[in-house]
Amino acid sequence: MKLVGSIMAVLALVASAVPSSAGELETVSIRNCTWCHGTSAQGFATAPRLAAQRHQYIENQLLSFRQHTRDNPFSRQYMWGAAANVDPGTARNLASYFSTLPAKAADDGDRELAAAGRTLYENGNPESNTVSCAVCHGPNAEGIREIPRLGGLSYYYLKRKLKQWGEGYHAAAESPMPQIASKLSPDQIEALASYLSFVR
């Protein structure tokens, strides 16, 4: 595990090297991303799927890695370095490239929790003041503009992200997510992450 971590760190550093010409930049940059995010950008438990993600979201995240406002451990370890030399134009090009790739659902959550997760996603829980996720992320978790698509992302990635809001990471993000996710219980997080991993 530790070895995998250091290999990925090395790759992230390699990936941040600046190529010489503009034409080269694009192919090299894409390859640099797919080292960790997968050749068809379907992602893994650690590095999330980029395929079919909202382009404004990808672009925003690349900038926030650069500005160190997205500050959870994996971001610090891999993406701060990887995004350090990605200028705004390249960020936009990468974002629009990955947003057009077809996506597959990770399907790696707990099937038995999916129904409870769906109810929470769609309705929230008014008794405990939990808002509906669908109002912002869309009825089918498709996202819009800078609000990310969540449907089909890996259960492990979603669970980790939801937990990290509550641990105080990326508190500087200009969205209601710090307030929302920090109040989710571990069971609610399990259910949501499971449900979303199956959404196509």
Q: Which is nearer to other proteins, 36 or 192 (CB)?
A: 192
Residues that bind other proteins (CB under 8 A): 122-124, 126-127, 129-132, 134-139, 142-145, 147, 176, 179-180
Contact of 173 with 77, CB cutoff 8 Å: no
Cβ-based nearer residue to other proteins, 105 or 131: 131
Please, are residues 109 and 44 in contact by the beta-carbon 8 Å criterion? Answer: no
CB of 127 to other proteins, least distance (A): 6
Q: Taking the alpha carbons of 59, 45, 170, 128 in that order, is the dihedral positive or negative?
A: positive
Between 96 and 179, whose beta carbon lies closer to other proteins?
179
**What is the DSSP track for 127-195?**
GGTBPPTHHHH-TTS--BTTBPP-TT--HHHHHHHHHHHHTTTTTT-SSSHHHHHTT--HHHHHHHHHH
**In the complex, minimum distance from the CB of residue 131 to other proteins, in angstroms, rounded to a whole number:** 5
Closest to other proteins by CB, 118 vs 137, is 137
Tokens of 116: 């409870």
Residue 142: Cβ within 10 Å count: 16
Our CB check for other proteins shows the closer of 19 and 138 to be: 138
Cβ 43 to other proteins shortest distance, Å: 22
